[in-house]
Structure 1
Amino acid sequence: MSYDTQVPPAAPQVMRNGLGTAALILGIIGTLSGFVPFFFWLAGILGVIALILGLVARGRVKRREADNKGVALTGVILGLASLVLSIVGLVIVVTAVSDAVDEIDKSIKDSAPKDPSASPKGKAPAADAGKDKGAGLADGDTSVYDDDVKVTVSDPKPFSPSEFSIGHTKGNKAYQVTVVIENGGKEKFDTTLVSFSATAGKDGVAAEQIMDDKVGAGFEGTIMPGKKATVTVAFDAPEDAKNLTVEVNPGFTYDASQWELKIG
């Protein structure tokens, strides 16, 4: 009787590559999250997990239990990158929040009256020191504010709206004024919130602002210290109106100033 003594071949070893693959995927997601500052927390969490999984996967590779050395190494590197980006994002967010709080505090301080009788940033115009506080400014007069922002409105001139203009009513007359804002302070002045309005005639009817290709654009951007900006604004007034009251408000922390202008 004969016996078969041949030993059957050993079953091939199954490689355990799951941790390396997971480290790579989490590292990629963590790194991408790190490029968005407000997701710094997600980048940090995923970076830690990817780093741990990647190191464990590297250990399996050394023990010949896995064969995805490159994938595991990439997961470790991306995990570290995620952690670095999360720290950078944290610094950016903290700095942004701190700056926002400072700006809010500054706005509150600037808008708070210095005494019960003082207005936020309003100040009696230098050119009209002798007038009553309720009196309007005349053409060419300058309204000076506490932060040395100066607003000047010129004498009104007749204006011919184009056929495509907005705000002009047939039968009415149009007038244009030049508004100059000069920044005499030490900080830049944002013109975003500058607004215009006007009334006309003895009854003070609203004079609509005219918009066309020549006027109506308004101020844009900021005015640096020592610089000035000029725009032309046009208003629609009844044909029989003899006066035009133009109001300019530099912003919500300022008092509006009015100019009493003669027309007609």
Structure 2
Amino acid sequence: MSHSMQQPQPPHGGPQQTPQWGGPQQDPQWGGGPSHRADPPANNSRPKTALVLGIIALIVGLIPFVFWIGGILGLIALIVGLSGRSKYGRAANPVGAILGGAGMVFAVVGAVITLQIMSDAVDELDRSVNDASSSVESDSGSLDTDGKKGKGKKGKGKGKGKGGDKGKGGGASGLAAGDTAAYDDDLKVTVSAAKAYTPSEYASGHTPGNKAYQVTVAIENAGQENFDSTLVLADARAGADGVTAEQIFDDKVGAGFDGTILPGKKSTVTYAFDAPADAKELTVEVTPGFSHDAAIWELTL
């Protein structure tokens, strides 16, 4: 009598599995295979970098003159923080990006502070320069009220005062030939009468058909300090229309003042000017320096 071996049948409705020899048997699970869960990133460096840059941006952004560094660092921190957030999701800390944005705001505040500091410094510098200029002008650059020889009325009496036009003596007609303009620092300037002058063959500044005239300018330093005559300027206008009288330069005239005039000493220079042939008057203006008012002489030709 033969016996056939029969394998046990699985429960009705269940899947049939063939046992595998040598391996572990796993019970079947309904609804699919084993579940998977994403692990947090092992190296989360971007949020950390953004955090460090954001902190530095907050500190540097409020420092005047270097605020722009904080703004750049804040922008980098914001970009790095947002990129880390997009890559790692909620596992990335958003504090770095937030600090980066705050650092940019602080940089704007630092820029405002810097501009205010610079504005205050410029205003203070302007006040200092104005005070210094006013002090120099009041102490040495104004003409003394007793600085002119008496010649009558209309500015030809006792001196050119501070209240008149710049360099015009006490009145509108200016100084006459031989008059002296005296300054508060005891500097005295005198202009002689105009005389005809013959330019040399190679003179510059003379126009054929015009007439040349020479005047002598004398500067006396009656004060207690040295006077630098290098900055002395002499200009002229000719005729009723006041056309510019060009200064003539040749081997005799045109060199101008040069060097230092010591206290108690005097320096004299001859200038020559080119005037129209029909000019009847020559107006000469002499400015001793930047800190002195100009004085004007009206000379008859």
Question: After TM superposition, is the score higher than 0.5?
Answer: yes
**For 1:220 and 1:112, how far apart are their aligned partners in 2?**
22
Instruction: Specify which structure has the bigger relative contact order, considering alpha-carbon pairs within 8 angstroms and separated by 6 or more residues.
Output: 1
Is residue 254 of structure 1 aligned with residue 292 of structure 2?
A: yes
**CA RMSD, Structure 1 to Structure 2 (Å):** 2.3
| TM-score calculated relative to the size of structure 1 | 0.55
Q: CA deviation at 1:106?
A: 11
Aligned to 2:136: 111
Q: 1:219 aligns with which of 250, 253, 257?
A: 257
- Gaps spanning 5+ residues in structure 2: where? 1-128, 150-155, 159-168
- Gaps spanning 5+ residues in structure 1: where? 1-103
Question: What are the Cα deviations for residues 76-101 of structure 1, in whole angstroms up to 9, with x where unaligned?
Answer: xxxxxxxxxxxxxxxxxxxxxxxxxx
Q: Secondary structure at the match of 1:111?
A: helix
Aligned to 2:148: 126
Q: Secondary structure at the match of 1:192?
A: helix
Q: CA deviation at 1:113?
A: 3.5
How many matched pairs? 156
Contact 1:175 1:236 in 2 (8 A): yes
Question: What are the Cα deviations for residues 215-242 of structure 1, in whole angstroms up to 9, with x where unaligned?
Answer: 0000110000000000100000000000
Closer, same or farther in 2 for the Cα pair 1:202/1:190, shift >3 Å?
same
Aligned to 2:276: 238
**For 1:112 and 1:137, how far apart are their aligned partners in 2?**
21
Is residue 140 of structure 1 aligned with residue 162 of structure 2?
A: no
Q: Which amino acid aligns with 1:126?
A: K
Contact 2:137 2:292 in 1 (8 A): no
Q: CA deviation at 1:258?
A: 0.6
Question: What are the Cα deviations for residues 100-132 of structure 1, in whole angstroms up to 9, with x where unaligned?
Answer: xxxx99964642447xxxx94233432243474
**For 2:246 and 2:285, how far apart are their aligned partners in 1?**
12
**For 2:222 and 2:278, how far apart are their aligned partners in 1?**
39
Question: What are the Cα deviations for residues 105-162 of structure 1, in whole angstroms up to 9, with x where unaligned?
Answer: 9964642447xxxx94233432243474332111110000010100000011100001
Contact 1:249 1:256 in 2 (8 A): yes
Is residue 158 of structure 1 aligned with residue 196 of structure 2?
A: yes
**For 2:137 and 2:287, how far apart are their aligned partners in 1?**
18
Question: What are the Cα deviations for residues 180-201 of structure 1, in whole angstroms up to 9, with x where unaligned?
Answer: 0000000000001100100000
Q: CA deviation at 1:257?
A: 0.4
